[in-house]
Amino acid sequence: MRRAVCPGSYDPPTNGHLDILERAAGLFDEVVVAVLVNKSKKGLFTVEERIELLAESVAHLPNVRIDSWHGLLVDYCRQNDIQAIVKGLRAVSDFDYELQMAQMNQQLTGVETLFMPTKPENSFLSSSLIKEVATYGGNVAHLLPATVHRRLLDRLSRDK
């Protein structure tokens, strides 16, 4: 079975994330969306909430499952018999950072990293930018899965 992992914080999941996950699901037998836990960062959504948002967003993809992980991603890959990491790239600046990470991961365990360019309409999307725009009342509905958009607006109105 060909398995891949798509790691990230997904705070919140965007249409750009969903595009990469859908395309990866077409290439692999199983895709694991790994919500990486960073205890030094306080997210807008808890890890559990992000897992729930992702599960709702990828429910139409039967070969995608959601998990979380704290530690080295290559250790997760080894423990779950995952051969590839799939990373979406928005710009050259993403490539500069991700190339070093891919080379380190390959050196550590032999796991390969596949870079997937985003679609042009998603190239500017980032979770942090979406949160900032939404905080100031900007319309981000077309940039997020509908359930994520509703939960984002609820969270921002509650946190005021």
Query: Is 119 tagged catalytic?
Result: no
35 membership: H or E segment, kind and range: strand 30-36
Query: Is 126 tagged catalytic?
Result: no
Compute the radius of gyration of the chain from its Cα atoms.
Answer: 15
Query: Is 3 tagged catalytic?
Result: no
- Residue ranges with strand state E in 43-119: 64-69, 84-89, 112-117
- The angle formed by the CA atoms of residues 146, 152 and 156, to the nearest 5 degrees, is 150
Query: Which of these is catalytic: 17, 50, 131, 149?
Result: 17
Query: Which of these is catalytic: 39, 40, 41, 42?
Result: 41
Strand ranges of the sheet holding 3-8, from the earlier edge strand across to the other edge: 64-69, 30-36, 3-8, 84-89, 112-117
Query: Which of these is catalytic: 23, 65, 78, 90?
Result: 90
Query: Which of these is catalytic: 50, 87, 127, 149?
Result: 127
Residues tagged active-site: 17, 41, 90, 127
